Structures are given as structure tokens and as C-alpha cells.
Amino acid sequence: MESPETPIRRALVSVSDKSNLKVLAELLIEAKVEVLSTGGTYAALSELGVEVTQVSEYTGAPEILDGRVKTLHPKIHGGILALPTEDHQQQLRVNGIAPIDLVVVNLYPFRQVIQRPGCSFETAIENIDIGGPTMLRAAAKNWPRVAVVVDPADYGRLAAVLRESDFKLPESLRRSLARKAFAHTAAYDAAIANYLAGVDDEGQPVDADALPSELFVTGASEAELRYGENPHQRARFYSTNYASREPSGLDRAIQHQGKPLSYNNLLDADGALGLIRDLKPHGTAAVVMKHVSPCGACCVPSARELSLAEVFVRARQADAESAFGGIVALTGEVDEEVARRIAETFLEVVIAPGYSEPARTLLRRKKKNLRLLELPDMFKSAGVTPLRLRSIAGGLLAQREDVVGVRVSEGRVVTKRAPTPAELADLELAQIVGKAVRSNAIVFVKDGVTVGIGGGQTSRVEASRQAARRAGELARGSVLASDAFFPFRDGVDAAAAAGVTAIVEPGGSRRDEEVIAAADEHGIAMVFTGERHFRH
């Protein structure tokens, strides 16, 4: 049973984000609420016609220390924290404190400030709010009597509920707003802690790939998903605080059409996005993902006169059967010709930096359920290797995203024959795609297109056989990338039987000499990079 609704008599308003302030001002005027405020908020509310009292005038204590101390005063926090008991009310009367029923506060924009290029350590520290979180936590703790609002988007909701309840604060509203306030301050503190963990004692960034001894992860819900990997599993998509410093993720994608994204769509789309980013520096590229593994990829140097539409078709036809129901990512804007080729196949999602209006019109007409994701900044570097988290029983695993540190051209040729320039280009593509395939991973590439992919096998030689079966006759004259070393020569023998002419692998096996000898026997060129790329 709900407690009695609390009348709204007095409000404290202090906001850094002044959006929607007119909505709040109209409500305060209509409800005849006594309003206390500070600084810029005081000026903004006054301009909107609200009768406002300065906090310093109300408390009798001036703002001091360059504004660091404004609201830290018993007349403010006593008014917020007092319970509706006779004892507390008596203490308020003795100390000349009036109850505060509504607290509207949002915080110094710390998270936005630290994203600005050249933000100094001193600037970051000065944007750590103290009085704001203190008032929010006080009001949220005392939600049985006080309503607390942290989000300007909630002003309309607040106004609607108050008008329906004769300007009283229903318990359900107070409780809901308190939960949001505690989540808001928790995320704010996590952002500060993570920032400080990433700088040294002088405020300079530490090693970008270092992992902090403590990790604070907060997430804002982007969408409740219809279900998880299977219909009986509940799921939700959260954007995380740490990802704000990374390249644009799916939380920032603009969806132009189609049904809401599913859990599996998001997993596949994330894999496709990561792979297309790896391929972009090498030319015009297209990838098709299915069940969190690439089933087709094509990448050609920009100097080669192939359109994006032709590149997409090659990627799709690399494994047309698996591409059905897949996720596509592209390096360029989808024009009408690309859209026409996309419409030939059933796909779930397309990710691209942009779409022409004719392309969107065509796909809206022919493939209305196809989800089009636009991510204009998808290839903009953030200068930091993304952090990846996975949950296990008892905790989280954290690591930096796998990147290719040693390209094939930088590797060591270990066989009598070195790769030709054409083989080298294909080996580069095979290595990058292999990084995105579940281990054990084997990738065959020919003429800039994957022709056979074997992944998720418990035996490397079986992954080789799987890739060879998928490639069929196209394996002849292809090259091969392995995500880890061949422990025995049988993997090389299987590749040779399929018609492979060059191989890239990390090396490092106790039997490397046997593996190299096998490659020489078959006339295969082999490059060791010294770098493994498992994907579990």
C-alpha cells in the first residue's frame, strides 16, 4: 500500500544540462512552488519567469572557494533529509530549516569534458561535481518524502504525474526517480574512477593497453530485446561507460528500417563491424557474418577498378549458401547499385557508413524488414585498443581487442620459396579474416576473396579439411592462414592436397622443422609471424 502522497511546496534546482528547462519552469510556476537555485540555473529560471531565491540568500552563507562550496549547508541537506516524523520536524523548526520536497539536479559534465581533445588533468578534476551528487544521494535516500530528478527528459513525465495528482508526489514516482538517481551517481563515480585509473600521478595517460587493477562497468539500457540467443532467454542491450572512448559502436548506429535488432543480430553485427574495420586500410571490402563467424569476405586494393557492388557480390558468393540470413558490413556508402545486389539475397542486417537516398528507397520497397545500420564514424580511429569483457562463473574476463601487430609482409619467410606479390596480398586478407574466425581457424583466399573457411574445430587438421571441402576446386592456387601453429605436418599435407600454394602461421611448434620441411616438399611458400590469433 502506498504511503500518502507528498505535497510539493519547495524545490531546489541546480542543473548543468539546461535542456527542457522551459517544461520544468512552467510546472514550477503552475504549482506555485518556492524555488531555490544557484548560479547559471538561477539566471535561466529567472529569464523563464520563475520566482527564484538564491541558495546563498536562503542559507545566509555565501558561495566560497570559487564555487566549490554552494549547497553544502545544513539548511539544504536538513531540508532534504528530514523525515516526516515529529522529532525531525521539531528539529527543522528549531534550526529554521524548511523541508525541500523536490530536488532537480544534474551534474557537471565530467564525462563529456574528458572526451574533449587536449583536456588537461586540472580541467578534468574541476569538473568532478561534489555538491550535486551529495544532494542527489540525500534526496534519493529520502525518497519516501522527496522526489529527485536527474534527467531533463523526465520533466514532462514529472509534470504529467503532478497535474494528475493535484501537485502531490506519488510514492511510485518518488521510488522510480530515486532508483534512477542512484544509478546516475553510480555511473558518474565509475567514470571518475576509470579516468583516474587511466592516468599517472601527473595526470598523464598511462599505457593505452594497460588494464586497471579495478574495473568499474556501468551500462545504460539501449533496448530490451525480444529474447536472447534462444526464445526462452531474456535479454537487454546496454551501452557501457568505458566504450565512450572507443571507436563508434552499435549503440551509436542509426537504424533506418526493419524490425528491432535481436541479441544474435547484435553479436553478428559486432563481429562484422570489427572485421570490416580491419579490412578498410587494405582497400574496398565487404564481409558477410553468420553465427559470429565470417562466411565470406572480399578485399581489393582501391587501385583495382572494382565497384563496391562487385566486391559485395564476391564476398556473398564466397559461400552463398551460408550468406542466406547473414549480416553484411561494407567499407563505403551503399548506392543504388549496391542496394540492388543486396536485395537479391535474404539478409538480416547491413552496416555501412552511409546510404544514398535512392538506395534507401529501393531497399525500403524491396526489403522492408532488412535492418539498415548507418554508422558515419565507423572508421574513425579512437587511438585506443578497445576493451573486451566476457562473463564467467564468478566474475569477468577483460582483455584488449586482438589486433594484427605483425603483418604477413613483416613476417619471416621460412621456406625455400618466398610468396609472390599476389600470394602475399591474399595472405594478408587470409590473416585478417582468420583473426575473426573461431579457433581452430583456417582460411583459404584466392584473388582477394575467401574461398574456404574452417573454424570452431577441436583439431587443426580437421579445420583444414573443412576449409578445403568448402573451397572445392577453388582451393587450387589459393593461400592459407592459420590462427595458430600447425602442431604436425598433417595440416600442411592436407593443404597441399587441396592445392594451396602459400601459408601464413605464427610458428612456435616443437615440430616447426617438420612443418617447414613438408611445405618445402610440396613447393609451398610459408611465412611465420610469431603472433597467434586465437578467438575462443
- Catalytic positions, please? 141, 291
Angle ∠(384,388,390) on CA atoms, nearest 5: 170
First to last CA, the chain: 51
Longest Cα–Cα distance of the chain, Å, equals: 97
Question: How many CA atoms lie within 13 Å of 38's alpha carbon, on the beta-carbon side?
Answer: 24
* Contact between residue 17 and residue 106 where contact means Cβ atoms under 8 Å apart: yes
Residue 333's nearest CA partner among 371, 387, 379, 394 is 379
The C-alpha cell at 397 is 574476463
Q: What is the 3-state secondary structure (H, E, C) of 161-216?
A: HHHHCCCEECHHHHHHHHHHHHHHHHHHHHHHHHHHHCECCCCCECCCCCCCCCCC
Question: How many CA atoms lie within 13 Å of 345's alpha carbon, on the beta-carbon side?
Answer: 24
* Contact between residue 329 and residue 290 where contact means Cβ atoms under 8 Å apart: no
d(CA 486, CA 505): 8
361 CB-near residues (< 8 Å, 6+ apart) = none
d(CA 34, CA 46): 13
d(CA 329, CA 285): 8
DSSP 243: G
Type of residue found at 420:
T
39 CB-near residues (< 8 Å, 6+ apart) = 14, 63, 67, 70
d(CA 516, CA 508): 12
Helix and strand element counts for the chain (H, E)? 19, 23
The C-alpha cell at 345 is 539475397
